[in-house]
Structure 1
Amino acid sequence: MSTADGRFCGLGAILWGYDAQIGTGLLSVPFYRRDFGYQLGVDYVIPARWQSAFNSVSSIGGMFGGLAVGWIADRVGHRGAITIACIISIAAVFMQFFCPPHQNALLLIGKLVNGVALGIYISTAAAYCAEISPTPLRGITTGCVNLWIVVGQFMANCVIQGLGSREDRYAYRIPLGQNQRSKAVLLALGTKEADLHLRQIQATIALEDLYAAETTYWQCFRGTNLRRTIIALMVFVLQQIVGVIFVLGYSTYFFQLAGFKSSDSFKLGVGVTAIGVVGNLTALYSVNRFGRRPLFLWGMIGCTAVNFGIGFSSISNTKAASWVEAIFTLIFGFVYQGSIGPLGYVIFSEISSAKLRSKTVGLGIFVNSLCGMLASIVIPTVDELDALFEAKVSSRKFAETSIVR
């Protein structure tokens, strides 16, 4: 594979970020809620069980895709794995784009199938970047995987802002179908002749071929590889513990619940991901300047502090307090994407041994998807949150307040 394939794999990370943000972002689109939810007063809502299902099922597919990529890459290579993912994803996007209103189960299946492709995309991108990069650049190239994810999220929020106010089904169908064009680009991309890293690439491929027949997932949990695997998995567990799904994933809808107009919430959602891109770019410098572990640790501390800021500012129901919550959310996006976000992909790609890299990366994506699925199931009690916010119940009393359905 050549340098062109590095960009080729990076587009897969963009699709991962795009899909993840579209799934939660569409909750803020009124026509989407109308076609797949029910009327509550003057507005439409999607029941919490369907929100949980829609937002978690892609992670379930990603779990299987992440596990499968080690086996697929050993047999058909990274290019073949990407090609298979493209075929799967095109079929899945077709199902979602043409899904009739209120056929929630069909939409769910489309998201599940597409999740498998996304798991293959992101696993391949992370493993390949770690394999081809010279040691001084490895932190930058693997960190760029998260940068492409954030770019995909930014694109998704821009699409939602531009189309979310439409009063027809294309308000959500166009965002779902936009992936088709990107996947066509993936299939059309070619490769260039050998570059400065040709010898390193050839050596890596030769090493992978030598051990491919001998490696199993079980070896990831034996001897010194066990410690490597635990570290690779825990970076993604910590990403979810810090609250990224709620603060960033549901940011646009959260802004609406906090009292912002739909148009303003769309703009703030774009702002969150735009600031995330800036944060990720700073991480490409700081990852080598300050080191992996200190940057990840201080990122966790920073995100925790910002979470406290969001929580305390929500005590008041004033407009000023809503703006403070929005500002803290923007700060969270910068801190997270400037530290924990890209460092997760740097650490789990580098920590694995060469012969087990594809499998360790696949396990990392499995855990990432699993944690994302659990968070997506737990968080979407937004139908209850709607009622709590409307009743102006203090955030501290949410847990003890009963909601009459």
Structure 2
Amino acid sequence: MGLLDKVKGHKASGNGLDTSGRTSSDPGIKEQEGGIADINFDQNTDDTETIMNNPNLDDGKVPRVTFRTAIMAIIAAMGGFIFGYDTGQISGFLEMQVFLERFGETNADGKLFFSNVRSGLIVALLSIGTAIGALLAAPLADRIGRRGSIPWWCLIFCVGVTIQIAVGDGQWVGVAMGRWVAGLGVGSLSVLVPLYMSESTPKQVRGAVVCSYQLFITIGIFTSNCINYGTESRTDTGSYRIPMAIGYLWALILCIGMLMLPESPRYDIRKGFNKRAFNTMQKFYGVPVNHRAIALETAEINANIRASQGSHAWYEVFTGPRMGYRTMLAMALQMFQQLTGANYFFYYGTTIFAGVGLSNSFVTAMILGGVNVGATFFGLYFVEHFGRRKCLITGGLWMFMCFMIFASIGHFKFQPAIEGSNDAKTYGTVLIVFACLFICGFASTWGPMIWAVNSEMFPYRYRANAMALATASNWIWNFLLGFFSPFITGAIDFSYGYVFAGCNLVGVAIVYFFLIESATRTIEEVDTMYLIHVPPLKSSKWTSEMIERELASSDNMHLAHGGRNVEKRNRDEEANAQQVEGNGVLGGKLAGDDSLPQHPLPANDLPAHLQQ
């Protein structure tokens, strides 16, 4: 139980729940024990059909969202706030006079400036740290828990902030290395927060809750822009050290907040804390302990944990059932989230619009940040009401159009105009307008929804490692763009926008041809859709008679070493299971067999499209 329950005075005994200990030496098995009352189903079962036919379970309406779920989303999403705050502040630092005097270079005329290499390293070394942190987060999260590992990464982030504040005059390498250390914490949080959210949230609001991570990224960027605006006029080192030091506050809020929340129910059951997990599900669902929704999810988790016990090598994220397809797709989606061009504005926005001739380019950065926050609220609505695919395709086409106009106006009209002329001001205003329109499209679609679809497409046994690889892909491309953008912009100026426009079209094509619609479906249902090769173009209309019954998911398979072959097991004699190469959901396809693939349901119980 998290401290939130203790603070509010909610004791487990009030619900007949004892959250104090393990229920079994076997981490995958639930056992009925004293201390759990009013539960009218076998907690040890993974038979969803029995649960569906149990007349003693409550079928009352499940609230769409509960107060506890909302609080959990706000606290956990502070990990996104830290990400956004650290990303947004560096753009302002590069334009601060004191920062330039302490860490810049002097040209032959005695004028201070940042070379492309120096500014690129200061900006982009954060991303190298985040990529490494993302890869390190998964094994630690599997060992000490999703919730339990987050405070430690907050501490690492604070160490990085301390290094940046402490460096002396001229020690720009210290600033860059401090950002690298802080990046270790930011990158780990970018894996752990969506992972914790997706495993703890009821399916009816899972997409919106995971998207709140991106919402808090945008709020963090906007907050850093406002603080930079308030300190940039200072003539001492407080102009940049104050915004840096405020970063401690966000890490402290996240650290303390996570101690008030419970662990992910799926992780708790895997480790044997079954009663605590059951208590968590009850509170997040907002229903009685004997509700059918909780019983079904408990059975689903039991089946998945049983099937996925044992060690799984990291490379199974590529060799497991349809995992190579999904892992590469997730990495590509994260890559193209960066290649949309959003961070072109967030990293260098202040510098870009200083060239437009505005009296205070920090104000423009605040405008862009405010638009980013406001548009993300629309994304929380779109993701649950219009689905993932439609929003990502529409958003990608919108961003393509905006960048085409932005690049054309910038290259052919603004660039040749005389600095300070009416034409320059007019075209500069047009650039700002289309930058805002672009950010509206990004913040309501590709910004939040990529995090949502990545957290939904993997089965439990591979989720942490696969999400770590996908997130590392995001950060690697974040580094490449952050480091090379000054060089590219210096060479081709606003024509750089054509590159991003083309990348947006490619991203749309990837979503259209390869991504399966996951809205309103459980993680296990999405897994099934990938396994049975549901065509992405038809996935939004796909329905299954297997809903609320045992699904053909990766977590229900008993895989041979490496995840390449499926081991068929008799439910009553699992101990004597024999490995049969080629059997299982993928067996028929791999062996070239035209018969129906192995499936938990008899052939005549399958949906019509599977019987065919």
Could you state the TM-score of these two structures normalised by the residue count of structure 1? 0.89
Q: How does 1:3-402 map to 2 (within 5 A)?
A: 3=68, 5-40=72-107, 44-189=112-257, 190-191=259-260, 194=280, 195-197=283-285, 211=308, 213-222=310-319, 223-261=321-359, 263=360, 265-314=361-410, 315-316=412-413, 317=417, 318-381=424-487, 385=490
Alignment partners' CA distance in 1, 2:298 and 2:81: 27
- Tell me the alpha carbon deviations over residues 105-133 of structure 1, each in whole angstroms, 9 at most, x when there is no partner: 11121111110000111111111111112
Select the structure of larger CA radius of gyration: 2
How well do the aligned residues superpose, as a CA RMSD in angstroms?
2.5
Alpha carbons 1:131, 1:204 under 8 Å: kept = no
- Tell me the alpha carbon deviations over residues 322-358 of structure 1, each in whole angstroms, 9 at most, x when there is no partner: 1111111111111110111011111111111122111
What is the deviation of 1:213?
A: 4.7
Letter of the structure 2 residue corresponding to residue 236 of structure 1 = Q
Alpha carbons 1:132, 1:204 under 8 Å: kept = no
Where is the helix percentage greater, Structure 1 or Structure 2?
1
Alignment partners' CA distance in 1, 2:110 and 2:440: 36
Quickly say closer, same or farther: Cα 1:356–1:98, change in 2 above 3 A.
same
Quickly say closer, same or farther: Cα 1:258–1:141, change in 2 above 3 A.
same
Alignment partners' CA distance in 2, 1:15 and 1:209: 36
Quickly say closer, same or farther: Cα 1:204–1:29, change in 2 above 3 A.
farther
- Alignment match, 1:403: none
Matched residue SS, 1:236: helix
- Tell me the alpha carbon deviations over residues 264-319 of structure 1, each in whole angstroms, 9 at most, x when there is no partner: x1111111111111111001111122211121111111111111111122122221
Could you state the TM-score of these two structures normalised by the residue count of structure 2? 0.60
Number of matched residues? 388
Letter of the structure 2 residue corresponding to residue 320 of structure 1 = T
Alignment partners' CA distance in 2, 1:64 and 1:167: 36
Matched residue SS, 1:260: coil
Matched residue SS, 2:94: helix
Alignment partners' CA distance in 1, 2:486 and 2:494: 16
Quickly say closer, same or farther: Cα 1:9–1:320, change in 2 above 3 A.
same
Letter of the structure 1 residue corresponding to residue 332 of structure 2 = M
Letter of the structure 2 residue corresponding to residue 339 of structure 1 = T
Alpha carbons 2:134, 2:187 under 8 Å: kept = yes
Letter of the structure 2 residue corresponding to residue 216 of structure 1 = A
Mean alpha-carbon deviation: is it higher for 17-26 or for 344-353? 17-26
Alignment partners' CA distance in 1, 2:493 and 2:176: 34
What is the deviation of 1:230?
A: 1.7
Alignment partners' CA distance in 2, 1:225 and 1:153: 34
Mean alpha-carbon deviation: is it higher for 340-349 or for 229-238? 229-238
Matched residue SS, 2:112: strand
Letter of the structure 1 residue corresponding to residue 404 of structure 2 = F
Higher relative contact order by CA 8 Å / sep ≥ 6: 1 or 2?
Answer: 1
Alignment partners' CA distance in 2, 1:191 and 1:205: 24
